[in-house]
Amino acid sequence: MSQEEKYINFLTKFKTEFQTFYSDPNNQQIEKIFQKLKNKINSTNSLENYERQFFISFLKEVISMVKKEELNHRDFIFEELKKNKIWIPLVKIILLKRIEELKNCQVEKKGKKYYIQELKRTYFGEFIMEKLDFSRKSVLNQEEYEKIISAIKKLNYELPIVVQPTETESFFKK
């Protein structure tokens, strides 16, 4: 196998591995990163050095794009990504993005009902709702809401609640 074939073989394997935990294989931004790095990194170095440089550069680019939200954190299959320790920096950034998304959602409370539409749109909110079998609900009672709160507290976070007055409360405030 020639030197060039070894480099091509490495790139093919790398791309295949990346696609095991990235759910959008036809993403043009990822393809641009591959092409840019493929041409940028000096292949006159040893194959080992090329692999290392390529991986570090690729990881930096992907992390930067996730931070800037040019790549959606939801497109990564978290369980697959965590399996390989070399991707830990990316795992941490994706986890931070998902927690940030959860922190930015609000739950509306009207009387004794909790409106959780915003929570359901977040990655962790959707996950928790499925686990508690509330995925079809958008309005919860106190007991159901407490179950969600206890699950979210395991993440060391509390949801902001926006209290909206009921029609009766609004009427009597006038």
Q: What is the pLDDT of residues 74-130, one digit of tens each?
A: 999 989 999 989 999 999 999 999 988 988 888 888 888 889 999 899 998 898 899
Of the residues 97, 115, 150, the one at which a domain ends: 97
- Domain check: are 60 and 16 in the same one? yes
Give the count of domains, the chain. 2
Nearest alpha-carbon partner for 161 in 115, 126, 121:
115
Q: How many residues does the chain have?
A: 174
Which is higher by pLDDT, 51 or 160?
A: 51
Q: Percentage of the chain surpassing pLDDT 90?
A: 29
**For position 43, what pLDDT does the model report?**
61
What domain range includes position 117? 104-173
> Contact, 105 vs 115, CB < 8 A?
no
pLDDT in tens, 150-159: 888 877 766 6
Give 122-165 as a DSSP string: SHHHHHHHHHTT-TT-SEE-HHHHHHHHHHHHTTT----EEEEP
pLDDT surpasses 80 at 131: yes
Residue at 143: amino acid letter: E
